Structure 1
Amino acid sequence: MTHRPPLGASAAWQAVMEAADYQCQCEGGLCGSKHPKTGLRCFRTTGHVRLIVAPADLTLSPVAAAAVPTEQLRAWCADCHTKAQKRQLANQRELERQQADEPLSLF
């Protein structure tokens, strides 16, 4: 099977895909699915869908994400990427809310 890289950053994409065996690296509930039918890892491959490359930490800004070394990137299908990013951002907001200073008491 031929795996066609995207137009930009094709060397990084190729390195990540080879390390991931051309399969989405979402596993263990990162996106909300435990992927139980496939050994806890998403079943999607480049033969089924176009995979993207993104950091494991999906809360990074686009500038910070662009600076992540290739070794710290992972392969994502669009569905897992979107769901995992929403979950990570929600977790980050909740953590920030919990760490916010308590308002001063009026009494």
Structure 2
Amino acid sequence: MIELASVIRDLRAELAQAIREAEGEALRFELGPIELEVAVELERGGNAGAKVRFWVVESGAEGKVSSQSTQRIKLSLQPTLTGSGDPPFVHGAADGHEQ
């Protein structure tokens, strides 16, 4: 399992790469709301002041985790560029393999 914060950090990095690759492209896509649905496990520390952490259940591992201990959550994220109210634009290729 991985932390929910790591999933969001990786998503941000992928989107930043797509935005960089959109520079100078004739065809770009306006980035709208992003809906992310994940299966999570909640971990709460036993001591005073402990944090609550959300762990994302990785694909394929969900069958090994009790369905009673996992919850599905849906996050709606609205991407914005720092310092501007304009929506970001992305290029369609996620990596060097797509054209």
**Shorter-chain TM-score: which interval?**
under 0.3
Which structure is higher in RCO with an 8 Å CA cutoff and minimum separation 6? 2
Q: Which has the higher strand share?
A: 2
Q: Which has the higher helix share?
A: 1
- Normalising by the residue count of structure 1, what TM-score does the alignment of the two structures yield? 0.23
- Normalising by the residue count of structure 2, what TM-score does the alignment of the two structures yield? 0.24
